[in-house]
Amino acid sequence: MRIGIGSDHGGFALKEEIKKLIEISGHEVFDYGTNNSESVDYPEYGKLVGEAVVSGKIDRGIVICGTGIGISISANKVKGIRCALCSDTYSARMSMEHNNANVLALGGRVLGIDLAKEIVSVWLNSKFEGGRHQRRIDKISEME
C-alpha cells in the first residue's frame, strides 16, 4: 500500500517513528512534511495528505499534530476524506471496518510511541466490511 504521512511540529517526532514502522511493514511511504520541529500550521499538512488520498497518489493517509484534533478537522475539510482521530486500537479497527476511514489522525503529544505504533498497525491491517456500512458511508458522501 502507498501510505502518505504529514504532520505539524507537534507531531514531527512521532511522524518520524511511524514512517519507520510503515516501511518495516512493507508499505511505501510518502512524506508530506513537515521536516523538522519548527512551528508550522497544521491545516496545510492535513490538506496535503487529504488531497493526495482523494487524487489516488496514495491509498491511505496518516496525519499528526499535537493532539490530532486540528489536523483531523483540516483533513476532513477535503471532499472525500473520512479522517478518524484514534487514541486506541479498537477505534482504529472500527474506523476502517465500519467507517472506511481513509486517513488516520494521531496526537503526537498525547500518545506514547508504542501505543501509536499499535494503532497504526491495527489500522493498516484492517479492511472495510462493506455491507450495511457502505450505506452509511454513502450517506456521509451525500452530505458533502
pTM of the model: 0.97
Cell triple for residue 85? 482521530
Task: Give 103-124 pLDDT, tens digit per residue.
Answer: 999 999 999 999 999 999 999 9
**Domain with 90 in it: what CATH number?**
3.40.1400.10
Q: In this structure, are residues 11 and 18 in contact, taking their beta carbons and an 8 Å threshold? A: no
> Which domain does 29 fall in, by range?
2-143
pLDDT at residue 141 in the model = 94
**57 exposure class (CB count in 10 Å sphere: 0-12, 13-18, 19+):** middle
Mean pLDDT of 94-98: 98
Our count of domains for the chain comes to 1
What burial letters (b/e) apply to 1-36, b meaning 16+ CB within 10 Å? eebbbbbbbbbbebbeebbebbeeeebebbebbbee
So which residues are the catalytic ones?
65, 98
Task: Give 44-85 pLDDT, tens digit per residue.
Answer: 999 999 999 999 999 999 999 999 999 999 999 999 999 999
Reduced to 3 states, what is the DSSP secondary structure of residue 33?
coil
Task: Give 120-144 pLDDT, tens digit per residue.
Answer: 999 999 999 999 999 999 999 999 8
Mean pLDDT of 85-90: 98
Cell triple for residue 6? 504529514
